Chain A
Amino acid sequence: MARLLSLWAILALSLAVATISTSVMVFRDVDLTQTMFFSLLMIPTAEAIVLAGFMRPQAGTILSPTTLRRALAHPLARPVLWIDAAVMPAGWLFLHHPLVGMAAAGIVQRRWMGTKLIVAAICLGIAALRRDTRLSTVERSALLATGVVLAAIGVNGFHPVLQAAARRLPAPLLRQPWPFVIFEVYAVAAVALIGLVLTAGRLLEAVSSPAAELYDSAAGALFVLALFATMNGFLSLQPIHPWAGLAVTSGSLAGTILAIAGILLAARNGSS
Protein backbone atom coordinates (compact mmCIF):
# COMPACT_ATOMS: atom_id res chain seq x y z
CA MET A 1 0.00 0.00 0.00
CA ALA A 2 2.88 2.36 0.84
CA ARG A 3 4.29 1.92 -2.68
CA LEU A 4 0.91 2.52 -4.31
CA LEU A 5 0.41 5.68 -2.28
CA SER A 6 3.92 6.94 -3.08
CA LEU A 7 3.25 6.25 -6.77
CA TRP A 8 0.03 8.28 -6.44
CA ALA A 9 1.91 11.12 -4.74
CA ILE A 10 4.51 11.32 -7.56
CA LEU A 11 1.83 11.18 -10.26
CA ALA A 12 -0.38 13.75 -8.49
CA LEU A 13 2.46 16.19 -7.87
CA SER A 14 3.82 15.98 -11.44
CA LEU A 15 0.27 16.22 -12.84
CA ALA A 16 -0.47 19.37 -10.83
CA VAL A 17 2.84 21.02 -11.76
CA ALA A 18 2.56 20.09 -15.46
CA THR A 19 -1.12 21.10 -15.76
CA ILE A 20 -0.78 24.46 -14.00
CA SER A 21 2.52 25.45 -15.66
CA THR A 22 1.30 24.45 -19.17
CA SER A 23 -1.95 26.35 -18.64
CA VAL A 24 -0.09 29.46 -17.44
CA MET A 25 2.72 29.40 -20.01
CA VAL A 26 0.81 28.28 -23.13
CA PHE A 27 -2.78 29.35 -22.57
CA ARG A 28 -2.27 32.24 -20.06
CA ASP A 29 -5.16 30.94 -18.00
CA VAL A 30 -5.54 28.51 -15.09
CA ASP A 31 -8.72 26.52 -14.68
CA LEU A 32 -9.63 26.62 -10.97
CA THR A 33 -13.06 25.06 -11.29
CA GLN A 34 -14.37 21.98 -9.46
CA THR A 35 -13.68 19.91 -12.60
CA MET A 36 -9.99 20.74 -12.54
CA PHE A 37 -9.76 20.11 -8.81
CA PHE A 38 -11.52 16.76 -9.18
CA SER A 39 -9.15 15.89 -12.06
CA LEU A 40 -6.07 16.71 -9.97
CA LEU A 41 -7.21 14.22 -7.32
CA MET A 42 -8.83 11.45 -9.36
CA ILE A 43 -6.71 11.19 -12.53
CA PRO A 44 -3.54 10.23 -10.57
CA THR A 45 -5.65 7.72 -8.62
CA ALA A 46 -6.73 6.00 -11.85
CA GLU A 47 -3.18 6.19 -13.22
CA ALA A 48 -1.61 4.77 -10.02
CA ILE A 49 -4.05 1.84 -9.90
CA VAL A 50 -3.52 1.01 -13.60
CA LEU A 51 0.28 1.36 -13.45
CA ALA A 52 0.66 -0.57 -10.19
CA GLY A 53 -1.56 -3.35 -11.50
CA PHE A 54 0.44 -3.51 -14.75
CA MET A 55 3.95 -3.36 -13.28
CA ARG A 56 3.33 -5.57 -10.26
CA PRO A 57 0.11 -7.57 -10.63
CA GLN A 58 0.54 -8.96 -7.07
CA ALA A 59 0.35 -5.37 -5.76
CA GLY A 60 -3.37 -5.47 -6.50
CA THR A 61 -3.95 -7.88 -3.60
CA ILE A 62 -5.47 -5.75 -0.88
CA LEU A 63 -5.91 -8.47 1.74
CA SER A 64 -4.82 -12.12 1.74
CA PRO A 65 -7.69 -14.66 1.97
CA THR A 66 -6.14 -16.14 5.15
CA THR A 67 -6.19 -12.77 6.95
CA LEU A 68 -9.71 -12.06 5.70
CA ARG A 69 -10.95 -15.46 6.96
CA ARG A 70 -9.21 -14.95 10.31
CA ALA A 71 -10.67 -11.47 10.70
CA LEU A 72 -14.22 -12.51 9.77
CA ALA A 73 -14.12 -15.62 11.96
CA HIS A 74 -13.32 -13.77 15.17
CA PRO A 75 -16.40 -13.74 17.46
CA LEU A 76 -15.83 -10.11 18.49
CA ALA A 77 -15.53 -8.97 14.86
CA ARG A 78 -19.01 -10.23 14.00
CA PRO A 79 -21.03 -7.67 16.03
CA VAL A 80 -19.03 -4.90 14.33
CA LEU A 81 -19.84 -6.34 10.91
CA TRP A 82 -23.53 -6.87 11.77
CA ILE A 83 -23.93 -3.25 12.88
CA ASP A 84 -22.07 -2.16 9.72
CA ALA A 85 -24.46 -4.24 7.63
CA ALA A 86 -27.39 -2.38 9.19
CA VAL A 87 -26.02 1.16 9.54
CA MET A 88 -24.17 1.67 6.25
CA PRO A 89 -26.90 0.54 3.80
CA ALA A 90 -29.44 2.55 5.89
CA GLY A 91 -27.26 5.61 5.33
CA TRP A 92 -27.42 5.20 1.57
CA LEU A 93 -31.14 4.29 1.56
CA PHE A 94 -32.13 7.34 3.66
CA LEU A 95 -29.50 9.51 2.00
CA HIS A 96 -30.52 12.93 3.36
CA HIS A 97 -31.84 11.85 6.78
CA PRO A 98 -30.16 14.05 9.44
CA LEU A 99 -29.54 11.08 11.77
CA VAL A 100 -28.42 8.26 9.47
CA GLY A 101 -28.14 9.81 5.99
CA MET A 102 -24.77 9.52 4.28
CA ALA A 103 -25.25 12.71 2.26
CA ALA A 104 -25.85 14.62 5.49
CA ALA A 105 -22.94 12.79 7.23
CA GLY A 106 -25.61 11.80 9.79
CA ILE A 107 -24.69 11.75 13.47
CA VAL A 108 -25.30 7.98 13.75
CA GLN A 109 -22.82 7.36 10.91
CA ARG A 110 -20.20 9.67 12.42
CA ARG A 111 -20.65 8.29 15.94
CA TRP A 112 -20.45 4.68 14.70
CA MET A 113 -17.29 5.45 12.75
CA GLY A 114 -15.90 7.22 15.83
CA THR A 115 -16.74 4.27 18.10
CA LYS A 116 -14.82 1.88 15.84
CA LEU A 117 -11.83 4.22 15.77
CA ILE A 118 -11.88 4.53 19.58
CA VAL A 119 -11.97 0.70 19.87
CA ALA A 120 -9.01 0.55 17.46
CA ALA A 121 -7.15 3.21 19.48
CA ILE A 122 -7.71 1.44 22.82
CA CYS A 123 -6.59 -1.94 21.41
CA LEU A 124 -3.54 -0.34 19.80
CA GLY A 125 -2.68 1.33 23.11
CA ILE A 126 -2.98 -2.00 24.93
CA ALA A 127 -0.77 -3.71 22.31
CA ALA A 128 1.84 -0.95 22.61
CA LEU A 129 1.93 -1.14 26.41
CA ARG A 130 1.92 -4.93 26.79
CA ARG A 131 5.11 -6.28 28.28
CA ASP A 132 5.34 -9.27 25.96
CA THR A 133 5.29 -6.98 22.89
CA ARG A 134 8.80 -7.05 21.44
CA LEU A 135 9.07 -3.36 20.52
CA SER A 136 11.48 -0.58 21.42
CA THR A 137 10.35 2.52 23.34
CA VAL A 138 10.32 4.60 20.13
CA GLU A 139 8.20 1.98 18.36
CA ARG A 140 5.78 1.81 21.30
CA SER A 141 5.56 5.62 21.25
CA ALA A 142 4.76 5.57 17.52
CA LEU A 143 1.94 3.08 18.14
CA LEU A 144 0.62 5.18 21.02
CA ALA A 145 0.74 8.33 18.86
CA THR A 146 -1.28 6.53 16.16
CA GLY A 147 -3.76 5.47 18.86
CA VAL A 148 -4.10 9.05 20.12
CA VAL A 149 -4.76 10.36 16.59
CA LEU A 150 -7.33 7.63 15.90
CA ALA A 151 -9.04 8.40 19.23
CA ALA A 152 -9.04 12.13 18.40
CA ILE A 153 -10.84 11.42 15.12
CA GLY A 154 -13.14 9.07 17.01
CA VAL A 155 -14.27 11.69 19.54
CA ASN A 156 -14.78 14.17 16.72
CA GLY A 157 -12.00 16.39 18.01
CA PHE A 158 -9.99 16.45 14.83
CA HIS A 159 -12.18 18.78 12.81
CA PRO A 160 -12.10 21.70 15.34
CA VAL A 161 -8.32 21.25 15.74
CA LEU A 162 -7.79 21.46 11.97
CA GLN A 163 -10.10 24.46 11.68
CA ALA A 164 -8.21 26.23 14.48
CA ALA A 165 -4.86 25.30 12.91
CA ALA A 166 -6.02 26.70 9.55
CA ARG A 167 -6.95 30.04 11.18
CA ARG A 168 -3.55 30.27 12.91
CA LEU A 169 -1.46 29.78 9.77
CA PRO A 170 1.13 32.49 8.95
CA ALA A 171 -0.31 35.57 7.24
CA PRO A 172 1.22 34.90 3.76
CA LEU A 173 -0.51 31.50 3.63
CA LEU A 174 -3.82 33.03 4.75
CA ARG A 175 -3.79 35.34 1.71
CA GLN A 176 -4.88 32.37 -0.40
CA PRO A 177 -8.61 31.74 -0.92
CA TRP A 178 -10.01 29.99 2.20
CA PRO A 179 -10.92 26.70 0.40
CA PHE A 180 -7.25 26.37 -0.62
CA VAL A 181 -6.10 26.94 2.99
CA ILE A 182 -8.54 24.26 4.20
CA PHE A 183 -7.42 21.94 1.41
CA GLU A 184 -3.75 22.33 2.35
CA VAL A 185 -4.36 21.81 6.08
CA TYR A 186 -6.48 18.72 5.42
CA ALA A 187 -3.92 17.38 2.93
CA VAL A 188 -1.09 17.71 5.49
CA ALA A 189 -3.28 16.06 8.18
CA ALA A 190 -4.20 13.24 5.77
CA VAL A 191 -0.56 12.60 4.85
CA ALA A 192 0.37 12.53 8.57
CA LEU A 193 -2.53 10.21 9.44
CA ILE A 194 -1.86 7.77 6.58
CA GLY A 195 1.87 7.87 7.36
CA LEU A 196 1.17 7.01 11.02
CA VAL A 197 -1.19 4.14 10.10
CA LEU A 198 1.34 2.72 7.60
CA THR A 199 4.12 3.00 10.20
CA ALA A 200 1.92 1.31 12.80
CA GLY A 201 1.20 -1.47 10.29
CA ARG A 202 4.92 -1.99 9.69
CA LEU A 203 5.64 -2.08 13.43
CA LEU A 204 2.79 -4.50 14.08
CA GLU A 205 4.45 -7.05 11.75
CA ALA A 206 6.49 -8.11 14.81
CA VAL A 207 3.36 -8.43 16.94
CA SER A 208 0.58 -9.81 14.74
CA SER A 209 0.91 -10.36 11.03
CA PRO A 210 -2.88 -10.29 10.28
CA ALA A 211 -3.28 -7.04 12.24
CA ALA A 212 -0.36 -5.53 10.31
CA GLU A 213 -1.97 -6.52 7.01
CA LEU A 214 -5.29 -5.02 8.13
CA TYR A 215 -3.55 -1.76 9.06
CA ASP A 216 -2.03 -1.65 5.59
CA SER A 217 -5.49 -2.05 4.01
CA ALA A 218 -6.93 0.56 6.38
CA ALA A 219 -4.35 3.03 5.05
CA GLY A 220 -5.92 2.50 1.59
CA ALA A 221 -9.42 3.19 2.95
CA LEU A 222 -8.12 6.28 4.78
CA PHE A 223 -6.55 7.48 1.53
CA VAL A 224 -9.94 7.21 -0.22
CA LEU A 225 -11.48 9.05 2.76
CA ALA A 226 -8.85 11.79 2.40
CA LEU A 227 -9.63 12.19 -1.33
CA PHE A 228 -13.37 12.61 -0.77
CA ALA A 229 -13.02 14.72 2.41
CA THR A 230 -10.60 17.03 0.59
CA MET A 231 -13.03 17.35 -2.33
CA ASN A 232 -15.82 18.22 0.14
CA GLY A 233 -13.57 20.58 2.10
CA PHE A 234 -12.58 22.41 -1.08
CA LEU A 235 -16.22 23.07 -1.95
CA SER A 236 -17.70 23.77 1.48
CA LEU A 237 -17.34 23.16 5.19
CA GLN A 238 -20.86 21.68 5.15
CA PRO A 239 -21.46 18.10 3.89
CA ILE A 240 -21.75 18.14 0.09
CA HIS A 241 -23.38 15.27 -1.80
CA PRO A 242 -21.86 12.87 -2.90
CA TRP A 243 -18.44 13.70 -1.34
CA ALA A 244 -19.54 13.68 2.31
CA GLY A 245 -21.32 10.33 1.94
CA LEU A 246 -18.37 8.76 0.12
CA ALA A 247 -15.97 10.15 2.76
CA VAL A 248 -18.09 8.81 5.64
CA THR A 249 -18.44 5.41 3.94
CA SER A 250 -14.69 5.04 3.37
CA GLY A 251 -13.97 6.37 6.88
CA SER A 252 -16.40 3.87 8.36
CA LEU A 253 -14.79 1.10 6.32
CA ALA A 254 -11.36 2.17 7.63
CA GLY A 255 -12.83 2.19 11.14
CA THR A 256 -14.14 -1.37 10.71
CA ILE A 257 -10.76 -2.62 9.44
CA LEU A 258 -8.86 -0.87 12.25
CA ALA A 259 -11.32 -2.07 14.92
CA ILE A 260 -11.04 -5.69 13.73
CA ALA A 261 -7.24 -5.34 13.61
CA GLY A 262 -7.41 -4.04 17.17
CA ILE A 263 -9.58 -6.98 18.23
CA LEU A 264 -7.06 -9.41 16.70
CA LEU A 265 -4.24 -7.56 18.49
CA ALA A 266 -5.98 -7.58 21.85
CA ALA A 267 -7.04 -11.23 21.56
CA ARG A 268 -3.61 -12.67 20.71
CA ASN A 269 -1.96 -14.93 23.28
CA GLY A 270 1.52 -13.63 23.91
CA SER A 271 2.86 -14.26 20.40
CA SER A 272 1.21 -13.83 17.00
Chain B
Amino acid sequence: MRSRGRAWSLLFATYFTAALVTRLLWTGHATLNAETLTLALVVPAVQIAALEALNRVSRSPWW
Protein backbone atom coordinates (compact mmCIF):
# COMPACT_ATOMS: atom_id res chain seq x y z
CA MET B 1 0.00 0.00 0.00
CA ARG B 2 1.34 3.44 -0.91
CA SER B 3 0.45 6.93 0.28
CA ARG B 4 -2.74 8.31 -1.27
CA GLY B 5 -1.41 11.87 -1.15
CA ARG B 6 1.58 10.91 -3.26
CA ALA B 7 -0.65 9.06 -5.71
CA TRP B 8 -2.84 12.13 -6.19
CA SER B 9 0.18 14.43 -6.60
CA LEU B 10 1.43 12.01 -9.21
CA LEU B 11 -1.94 12.14 -10.98
CA PHE B 12 -1.83 15.98 -11.08
CA ALA B 13 1.76 15.89 -12.39
CA THR B 14 0.97 13.23 -15.01
CA TYR B 15 -2.09 15.10 -16.28
CA PHE B 16 -0.21 18.39 -16.52
CA THR B 17 2.83 16.83 -18.26
CA ALA B 18 0.75 14.69 -20.64
CA ALA B 19 -1.49 17.64 -21.58
CA LEU B 20 1.51 19.88 -22.28
CA VAL B 21 3.40 17.20 -24.22
CA THR B 22 0.31 16.40 -26.34
CA ARG B 23 -0.18 20.07 -27.19
CA LEU B 24 3.53 20.53 -27.89
CA LEU B 25 3.66 17.50 -30.20
CA TRP B 26 0.51 18.47 -32.03
CA THR B 27 0.71 22.23 -32.37
CA GLY B 28 4.43 22.86 -31.88
CA HIS B 29 3.82 25.14 -28.90
CA ALA B 30 2.37 24.75 -25.40
CA THR B 31 1.06 27.92 -23.83
CA LEU B 32 0.13 28.19 -20.16
CA ASN B 33 -3.09 30.15 -20.58
CA ALA B 34 -6.08 30.39 -18.22
CA GLU B 35 -7.86 27.45 -19.85
CA THR B 36 -4.86 25.11 -19.55
CA LEU B 37 -4.33 26.03 -15.91
CA THR B 38 -8.03 25.76 -15.01
CA LEU B 39 -8.27 22.34 -16.66
CA ALA B 40 -5.03 21.23 -14.94
CA LEU B 41 -6.68 21.97 -11.59
CA VAL B 42 -10.25 20.82 -12.28
CA VAL B 43 -9.72 17.63 -14.33
CA PRO B 44 -7.40 15.71 -11.93
CA ALA B 45 -9.63 16.82 -9.00
CA VAL B 46 -12.70 15.30 -10.72
CA GLN B 47 -10.70 12.17 -11.57
CA ILE B 48 -9.60 11.82 -7.92
CA ALA B 49 -13.21 12.25 -6.75
CA ALA B 50 -14.33 9.54 -9.21
CA LEU B 51 -11.58 7.16 -8.10
CA GLU B 52 -12.28 7.79 -4.39
CA ALA B 53 -16.01 7.24 -4.90
CA LEU B 54 -15.40 4.02 -6.79
CA ASN B 55 -12.83 2.85 -4.28
CA ARG B 56 -15.42 3.13 -1.50
CA VAL B 57 -18.01 1.01 -3.28
CA SER B 58 -15.51 -1.46 -4.76
CA ARG B 59 -15.20 -4.93 -3.21
CA SER B 60 -11.45 -5.03 -3.86
CA PRO B 61 -10.13 -1.47 -3.43
CA TRP B 62 -6.89 -0.31 -4.98
CA TRP B 63 -5.38 0.77 -1.65
Q: Can you offer 21 A-B residue contacts whose CB atoms are under 8 A?
A: A10-B50, A11-B50, A13-B50, A14-B46, A15-B43, A15-B46, A17-B46, A18-B46, A22-B38, A22-B43, A23-B35, A35-B23, A38-B26, A39-B23, A42-B18, A42-B22, A43-B18, A46-B18, A50-B14, A51-B10, A54-B10
A34 to B14, CA, bound (A): 20
Which residues of A31-48 have CB atoms within 8 Å of chain B's CB atoms? Answer: 34-35, 38-39, 42-43, 46-47
On whether A55 and B7 interact (CB within 8 A), knowing A38-B26, A39-B19, A42-B18, the answer reads: yes
Among B11, B23, B27, B39, point to the contact of A47 (Cβ < 8 A). Answer: B11
Number of interface residues of B (CB under 8 A): 28
A27 interface residue per 8 A CB criterion: yes
Q: Which A residues fall within an 8 A CB radius of B? A: 3, 7, 10-11, 13-15, 17-19, 22-23, 26-27, 34-35, 38-39, 42-43, 46-47, 50-51, 54-56
Main secondary structure of the interface of A (DSSP, over half): helix
A27 and B14 CA atoms in complex are apart in Å by 23
Nearest CB in chain A: distance from B17 CB, A: 8
A244→B7 CA distance, assembly (Å): 34
